[in-house]
Structure 1
Amino acid sequence: MVPAIENLDHNWSQIVYREGNQLATVGHHWKLSRALNKEEIVHRQREGTCLTCHQDILENSAAINLLHHVAEYTGQLPKTNQQHANLIHKILLTSAWGQVLGAVAISIAGLGGIFWWLRRRQPNQQN
């Protein structure tokens, strides 16, 4: 831990209030260096993002419970931030591909149904 600096009138771990008001001067070594504006702060703020996924874990979703137990017993529960990030990436890709393939399957089934219906409406042409 870094010891406090006497007579320092603000916290150096924060350069800007969440509202966007600047607390301290940012380094002047680079031409474009500056504090983040309010929009950038809100965009990068991550409070509550974990609840997006973890709310289902708290509500004991059967599917998530099963996957959690399998991961626990096979030693695949993430233990580091990188392992957690890899898991999130895998879940995102699986979900995206599942939605794309589901839409393709529904489209093919719909076209197949239309084709079947049109063929069924045609009168039998027997010689």
Structure 2
Amino acid sequence: MLLNDKAARTSRPGQGKELEAVTDATFADRVLGADLPVLVEFWAPWCGPCRMLGPVLEQIAGENAERLRVVKINYDENPQTGMATRVMAVPTMQVYRGGELVKSLVGARSKARLLAELEDVLAPA
């Protein structure tokens, strides 16, 4: 069973919030124009570490909805955004605040490590 399978994601208890998918066409509005800080996961369906990271990001999104928006963008299907943001590998997570890139993280991480790395960019509770 793949972790990015929609049925699998919606049937597991305590899963968190399903991530909004953004595209080349919606990136500027949904990410750069957002009121909250936005964590963008650049992922690809063939990427094993991306599949491992997905549930972690869903949990973080669900638990921190008032402080952080978490979205995903398929790197293969949205090459303009990947090139414009200089993403060279997946998974890459970029955090934007006020339309500006404030943090970039490459590679899968545990929930605890990722939360520690995000603490300085989260909106106040």
Coarse TM-score class (shorter-chain normalised): under 0.3
Mark the structure with the bigger radius of gyration: 1
Q: Identify the structure with the greater strand proportion.
A: 2
If the length of structure 2 is used for normalisation, what is the TM-score?
A: 0.21
> When you count helix as a share of all residues, which structure comes out higher?
1
Q: Greater RCO between the two (CA within 8 Å, min separation 6)? A: 2
Report the TM-score when normalising by structure 1: 0.20
